[in-house]
Amino acid sequence: MMHDSPKRAGHCVRLTIEDAPALSSLESRCFALPWTEQAFAEAFAGKTFHAFGIRETASPLSPRELAGYIAVYHTPDEVEILNIAVREDRRRHGYGRLLMATALQDAKETGILRGVLEVRISNAPAIHLYESFGFRQAGKRRGYYQDTGEDALIYTLDMGQTRTNP
């Protein structure tokens, strides 16, 4: 499965364990508590972990470097969005939307009926993205994030009504 970004020369590809170093590098650029290369390798070893990444065709990035990625877990009837990250210098190019659309379409094609995720209460751009795909707030986890004690909002999605290309 490969999808192209409408605003930039990038395409979305399924990632594998060989991409663990690039994923860890991107995580370190985007998050205060990043996943390690070992954590990604262990996740890929399981059957329920899936990841998609943005590779740019005409870019100063190295061929293995990622402009963005999304990681999810699949269960028989649910996809959990674990992380979505886009390099700061590549934001506002439609990559987050492309990653989300790709992950949701992949889940839908396997018969998954429900999506779930958590997001920092202060992350307005991510909340806007999720809501544009039809996710709705279903709850809150107080003091959830270890680094700041910030609350997490829980969002769910009825996959039967997913807008894969809002």
145 has a pLDDT exceeding 70: yes
CATH number for the domain that contains residue 70 = 3.40.630.30
Q: How far apart are CA 115 and CA 84, in angstroms?
A: 14
In this prediction, residues 9-27 reach a mean pLDDT of 90
Q: In this predicted structure, what is the pLDDT of residue 62?
A: 61
DSSP state of 34: P
In this prediction, residues 108-135 reach a mean pLDDT of 94
Instruction: Count the domains in the chain.
Output: 1
41 band by pLDDT with thresholds 50, 70 and 90: very high
* Catalytic residue, candidates 69, 95, 130, 155: 130
43 band by pLDDT with thresholds 50, 70 and 90: very high
Q: In this predicted structure, what is the pLDDT of residue 53?
A: 95
Q: Is residue 131 part of a domain?
A: yes
The yes-or-no answer on residue 118 being catalytic is: yes
Q: Is residue 135 part of a domain?
A: yes
Closest CA to 3 of 98, 133, 93: 98
Closest CA to 119 of 97, 105, 137: 137
- Do 94 and 7 contact (CB within 8 A), yes or no? yes
Q: Is residue 124 part of a domain?
A: yes
pLDDT in tens, 45-54: 988 999 999 9
Q: Is residue 166 part of a domain?
A: no
Q: Is residue 72 part of a domain?
A: yes
pTM to 2 decimal places: 0.85
Q: In this predicted structure, what is the pLDDT of residue 6?
A: 47
What is the sign of the dihedral through the CA atoms of 96, 51, 14 and 36? Answer: positive
Q: Is residue 54 part of a domain?
A: yes
In this prediction, residues 135-141 reach a mean pLDDT of 96
Name all contacts of 46-49 with Cβ < 8 Å and 24+ positions apart: 48/73, 48/74, 48/75, 49/73
pLDDT in tens, 59-115: 555 656 788 999 999 998 899 999 999 988 888 888 999 999 999 999 999 999 899
56 has a pLDDT exceeding 90: no
* Catalytic residue, candidates 118, 131, 145, 150: 118
The whole domain housing 78 covers 3-161
Q: Which of the pair, 64 or 133, is modelled with greater confidence?
A: 133
Taking residue 62's Cβ as centre, other Cβ atoms within 10 Å add up to 8
Q: Is residue 155 part of a domain?
A: yes
